[in-house]
Structure 1
């Protein structure tokens, strides 16, 4: 019998948020289930993570809080033993204490995907003990691996880079139909951005860049895709400020906040070009999603975006609306450039960022 059929896999993600980090265990968990792995989840009761895990077919143990988990250690051990769970994949540093304590009680292989890159040294006695129980830290980019090597109390051999992956299936629904549903003219030039809304994700900077371009490019519209509530991972103050700025500029007809959407492939299909103005992205799942959709991209020149995008897009300082506007304008006036960059982005996604390749690499690390 294969190791993947014999051993249960547990994803731990005790988060009330909803972003790329929280979606990741659902993506890879469902992919591993399709490959024959028995996948379970440990999540906060009523969270989007817990609901998403259950929707994907995970058996989920729900906790009221991290503290509740610490009080339930023996119950959790019995639950792990009954399901022969020998492999734990953790996704938030705050969950590692619980995972390390479980490893003291039950033989486990423990992996941790560091989605952000450690920004503060973690070499005190408690963190040395916790990370001493971690068999492998997976960094989602070279940028985050550099941070982790500097901050974590582990040898370089136990900190590896593993780029994320995405579904390469493209939406084949006509863009005009999706635009009609959104109330956007078929002949508009549609600039889009996806992801949770927050200062660091750059939507306010992109809005200012759009306003610099709006008069010279009357066909230009802006589509901001992302939840507008804190429960969806977004900063409600930033959302309110965006709406106020849109109203002040009289751009209600040309700037649309869609709210939370699960159909991101459809949203990408409707766009002519995509901006990724994150200030310091650890990887940028939206980057590879836009690449897989074959879109021309203007990405941030900071963080891991240049590493992920390579030569398949344009870069600009994300905190400089004039710089963003300049790169966007070069794509607005040159349709052939948009097409060339879109093709290059799609080819790079197929070569480097397929979910199948990611799951192959993840399974290899699961099996040690």
Structure 2
């Protein structure tokens, strides 16, 4: 069997789903799989396709992709593609038609969102009937998929994401972490609290900021947000502005910094002391296992997929809406450096054992291979 797959993602977003395409292409290549792609023009996915030097077709919109179905069919036959892996529910319009036009085509769909609403109308029954397997990225989304999709439960597989544990790893060189903090303008002796993720309401930066503003001013800490703050970098401008209004004039304003989008996350994460993930309904949370792989103890929400990722040995889980609970959890972690270190070591071990990219791609390629 030719080890070749089409990665299809007609998304113009800038989040974890799109970033997954970038990572899985690289991981599949290392495992001996060739990839081609279909994406939207001028999207992050197109950028990732170009960076990974894979053959691809880019369209103006989902409509244009469907309108060019016959040329796509010819291309796939020429490329000897019999496996499609799609990543957005609207991609199913194209895969449904292709499944009718190319006998024996196998379609896999990773649900990166795990929506709460049932999808069992005539269109969804037709579209999902062409899928060989639905891949859920967490137990939380698996349960939703079983409940909400018109797919037999035996055709739904839970496959958590993985992270490159060689790329994301602790830094045991104090000089390097001190230099990174200095470059960021962070006092060397402060307990450094980080929140990685785009600045959007669903990520919970509002609860985080409110909890930080209630901390004892005598505590020696600094907090940084690492992620896009405007629409061009995946953030929400108005939400970011509302956070700045909250912070302005506070006695703790000089202890909270929004870095915006960064390309050096692998260097910033190991320089932190605590990572906060206050997301209200995280489908998986790739940044969580990235931080854990870097040896970071986690303070996270007790909802969505987070309880699957963070156990009692590697972090604290609290209600995503409870500002007082967040304040107390952050205070506890700031004051207990030995506990942070123990939890950080446990977090690293947990990722090594359960969430490495090698484990993920092995299971994924087994799913591909079993279908043909």
Structure 2 residue 350 is the aligned partner of structure 1 residue 354:
no
Q: Give the RMSD, CA atoms, in angstroms.
A: 1.4
Counterpart in the other structure of 2:105: 108
CA distance in 2, matches of 1:244, 1:181: 26
TM-score by length of 2: 0.94
3-state DSSP of counterpart to 1:11: strand
CA contact (8 A) 2:170 2:293 kept: no
Distance 1:214 1:258, change over 3 A: farther
CA distance in 2, matches of 1:265, 1:255: 21
CA contact (8 A) 1:10 1:85 kept: yes
CA contact (8 A) 1:7 1:85 kept: no
Counterpart in the other structure of 1:134: 131
Structure 2 residue 10 is the aligned partner of structure 1 residue 11:
no
CA contact (8 A) 2:228 2:235 kept: yes
Counterpart in the other structure of 2:85: 89
Structure 2 residue 274 is the aligned partner of structure 1 residue 278:
no
3-state DSSP of counterpart to 1:298: strand
* C-alpha displacement of 1:118: 2.9
Task: Give per-residue Cα distances to partners, 1:176-195, cap 9 Å, x unaligned.
Answer: 11111111111111100111
* C-alpha displacement of 1:247: 2.1
Task: Give per-residue Cα distances to partners, 1:9-65, cap 9 Å, x unaligned.
Answer: 111111111111111111111110122211111111011111022102222211100
Matches within 5 A, 1:208-357: 208-217=210-219, 219-249=220-250, 251-311=252-312, 312-357=314-359
CA distance in 2, matches of 1:251, 1:73: 57
Q: Where do 4+ consecutive residues of structure 1 move more than 3 Å?
A: none
* C-alpha displacement of 1:250: 5.4
CA distance in 2, matches of 1:129, 1:187: 59
3-state DSSP of counterpart to 1:28: helix
CA contact (8 A) 1:17 1:232 kept: no
3-state DSSP of counterpart to 1:307: helix
Stretch deviating more after TM superposition (258-267 or 131-140) = 258-267
Structure 2 residue 163 is the aligned partner of structure 1 residue 161:
no
TM-score by length of 1: 0.95
* C-alpha displacement of 1:252: 4.7
CA distance in 2, matches of 1:104, 1:234: 39
* C-alpha displacement of 1:171: 5.6
Distance 1:330 1:251, change over 3 A: closer
Partner residue of 1:175 out of 171, 174, 177: 177
* C-alpha displacement of 1:329: 0.9
CA distance in 1, matches of 2:303, 2:186: 31
Unaligned regions of 5+ residues in structure 2, if any? none
CA contact (8 A) 2:3 2:32 kept: no
